Structure formats: structure tokens, C-alpha cells
A and B are shown apart, each in its own frame.
Chain A
């Protein structure tokens, strides 16, 4: 009988210790996660610590849903164009003409252009991106004017994304196509706005992988 009680106490002790450690860890990690999204860390900490109060776990659950679907400060593009802040996922804006990125905080000394190379169904595609134009539209349709770069593939939208050039940096903005835009494997969403891809190695438009290199 004494052994049973000891085993039971041990079980409860281990469970309590796990719960305590898990709560502390969760509070710390929640702090870090919300900070990465641009929200004060104490809000994440508070959400987890709410589980210790009488409200139970329903409030942190609601807060998790709110956090998932709210607008994060980190969604704001680094160099937002005028009137072009973070946008909701629905209703992507399809600009009619490319625009220039505003000057980034630090300009890159290397002013060479870029070259995007990839394989499409009809062969290979090589796109030259230089500073002659402030920006380009990447499209699956044949290029109609100098500001367009054609990636002839059904998975590439018409238009699909924008390339923006300013002070030696190259930016990329997804225009909300279903095929998706990826930077080194990471999805770029329309609400992210323009992202600096000067140091990226590959971008993907739909199913077409394009290797990015300096010209």
C-alpha cells in the first residue's frame, strides 16, 4: 500500500514538474515568437501565463487564432512604396507598370546587373536585369515592352511578380498569382510587399526555378 502511494506521488510529482517546465518554456518561446512578428514580447508571455489563472486555456487559444490572422508589423515591407503598405491576402493589387524601390538604408557598392536563368518547357530562359529600367514585370506572357520579362510557362502568372532595382539592390514583389513566388524556397506572399533579394540564390515562379546571379 505504501508503495502504491509512493508511486502515485511520484507520478503526480513528475507531471507537475513537466507542467511547470513546459509553462516556463512556452512563455519564453511565446515571447520570442511574437517579437519576431513585431509585437511586444510581453503579450505572448501574458497569453501563456493566462493559462495559470482561472480563465483556463480557452483565452490563450482565442489569442492564438487572433495572432495567426491579425496583421503583423513584420509584414510591413522594409521599403514600402508610397501607399503600398502591407495588404491583406485577398484582393492582390496588380500594378499596371513597374515602379522603383525607394532608397534602402545602405546602398550596395556593386552596381552590376543580375541574370536570372532557368529551364522552361521550350528550352532555357535567360533574363538580364540591369539598372536601365527601375523595375520589371515578370510575366508568363510574351514580353510586350522593355519593362517586361517573359518566363513562358503555364504556371507563371500574367503578370506574376515585380523586380525592383534601386541603389544596387534588387527587390522582388509577388503580385498574388496562384502559382506562388518563392525566394530560396521561402514563399513570398503579396502582403509581404517588396523583399530585398540581392543576396538570394534562387527564386521560383510557379514551377519554374530561376537561378539568380550577378551579370
Chain B
């Protein structure tokens, strides 16, 4: 019985590790272009690190870019 529990725990840990690494890879693919977008808009590039927050991180980044005034100026504001 203890072997079964050890296997389940081991597989669970492995699955979590794979999920975490996958999440980091996907976040990195999103962070690189978003960092540039934030910088060009006049925000700190670190804002793009919200992509590391699971599920809602990308919504936070988009909301900041969409609803705040860009320090470097906006085309619509001219």
C-alpha cells in the first residue's frame, strides 16, 4: 500500500513540475513581446511579468494597457 502512495505522490509531483515548466515557457513567450509593448507605451517592462500570474495575469496586463493613459502618447489622443 505504501508503494502505491509513493507512486501517486511521485507522479503527482512530476505532473506539477511539468505544469510549472510549461507555464513558465508559455509565460516567457508572452512576456517578451509584452515587455516591448509596455516599454514602447511608456510603462515599465516589468508590467509584463504579470503573465507569470496564472489564469488572470494576461487580463491584468491588457487592462493596464487598454484603460490607462500611455505615458509615451497615444495615437487616438492626437
- Choose from A28, A30, A35, A195 the contact partner of B75 (Cβ within 8 Å): A35
B71 and A67 within 8 A (CB): no
**If A26-B62, A68-B34 touch, does A78 touch B78 (CB 8 Å cutoff)?**
yes
Counting CB contacts under 8 A, is B50 at the interface?
no
Task: State in angstroms the CA–CA spacing of A184 and B43 once bound together.
Answer: 12
Q: Which of A35, A64, A68 has the most CB of B within 10 A?
A: A68
**Which A-chain residue is minimally distant from B58 (CB atoms)?**
A26
Cα–Cα distance between A73 and B65 once the two chains are bound (Å): 17
Determine the chain A residues whose CB is within 8 A of the CB of B42 once the complex forms.
186-187
Does A69 lie within 8 Å of B33, measured CB to CB?
yes
Shortest CB-to-CB span from A17 to chain B, Å, is 14
Minimum Cβ distance to chain B for residue A34 (Å): 9
B: interface residue count bin: 20 to 34
Proximity string of chain A (86-112) to chain B, C-beta cutoff 8 Å, 1 when within and 0 when not:
000000000000000000000000000
A-B contact pairs, 24 of them (CB 8 A): A25-B59, A29-B65, A29-B66, A29-B67, A30-B62, A32-B66, A32-B67, A33-B37, A33-B65, A36-B75, A38-B75, A39-B75, A67-B33, A68-B36, A68-B40, A69-B33, A69-B36, A74-B72, A186-B42, A186-B72, A187-B39, A188-B72, A189-B72, A195-B73
Beyond known contacts A26-B62, A39-B75, A67-B37: 10 more, CB 8 A cutoff: A29-B62, A29-B65, A30-B66, A32-B67, A35-B76, A36-B70, A36-B75, A37-B41, A61-B30, A195-B73
